A and B are shown apart, each in its own frame.
Chain A
């Protein structure tokens, strides 16, 4: 058990918490995506810490971080695609005005 691992895990946990706060409290689609990015960053910190301090011989740990980075990029691309389409159709990407998505 090591100090550095705990420090990294605490950072990851707090980043995740901030991310959840942002994703739930913001009204704008782009700001919500920022919250999600912060959550993913927290997850990546944990993954790297686990790789470094628990299994430095298993490189699938680093591989996992690469996949998370891919997910971040994908989330951005698809999110902005949806945002542009929504903005073009309705003139805003505010969540409060997206009642019509409730079905």
Chain B
């Protein structure tokens, strides 16, 4: 019990620490990889809370996601290496206020609510995976399928938005000249 609290707290602190680094560093690859390690620490928190499948899934998905994030950062930032010392932020005071007040409200709710008795035991990892599979392909199948279709739609939409509009201008020019 206390061991669990200790590990959750350690990984939680790691997640928060790397989360702060994300917005403190000016090197974009560092920023993206700090976010990756923050998410990995969140995955480790899941593991510490005996939610093995989700923890491993989180650790796996974030590695790829945040690496892709890193290359987009390098592509789209004006100063990806962070050697120019540019300030890439605005409305700082307002943002800090909003962030702190949101965190304070959430913390107050967490501390002041009566959460009732906590469950001591959970099923082991194998049984959990099985039950989750039954849930996914049983009661929640509609939601799961919808999520799948949504991913497909987003993939197609994102690709359609991203591919360059080929030869439209030159075609217009040609028509105009004819």
Chain A contacts to B: CB under 8 angstroms: 1-22, 24-31, 33-35, 37-38, 41, 44-45, 48-49, 51-56, 59-60, 62-63, 65-67, 69-70, 72-74, 76-78, 80-85, 87-88, 92-96
With both chains docked as a complex, state the minimum distance between the C-beta of B51 and any C-beta of chain A, in angstroms.
5
With both chains docked as a complex, state the minimum distance between the C-beta of B52 and any C-beta of chain A, in angstroms.
11
Is B169 part of the contact surface with A, judged by Cβ < 8 Å? no
Interface size class of B (residues with CB under 8 A): 35 or more
- Majority SS at the chain B contact face: helix
Pairwise interchain contact A83-B68, C-beta atoms closer than 8 A: no
Contacts of B103 in A (CB 8 A): 13-14, 16-18, 20
Contacts of A60 in B (CB 8 A): 135, 139-140
Of chain A, the residue at the smallest CB distance from B100 is: A17
Pairwise interchain contact A72-B65, C-beta atoms closer than 8 A: yes
Which residue of the partner chain, among B38, B49, B89, B135, contacts A59 with CB atoms under 8 Å?
B135
Known: A25-B90, A38-B19, A52-B49. A13 touches B76 (CB 8 A): no
With both chains docked as a complex, state the minimum distance between the C-beta of B68 and any C-beta of chain A, in angstroms.
7
Pairwise interchain contact A63-B16, C-beta atoms closer than 8 A: no
Pairwise interchain contact B162-A54, C-beta atoms closer than 8 A: no
Known: A11-B45, A52-B122, A63-B143. A73 touches B151 (CB 8 A): yes
Of chain A, the residue at the smallest CB distance from B51 is: A48
Pairwise interchain contact A93-B132, C-beta atoms closer than 8 A: no
Which residue of the partner chain, among A4, A6, A34, A38, contacts B32 with CB atoms under 8 Å?
A34
Contacts of A95 in B (CB 8 A): 90
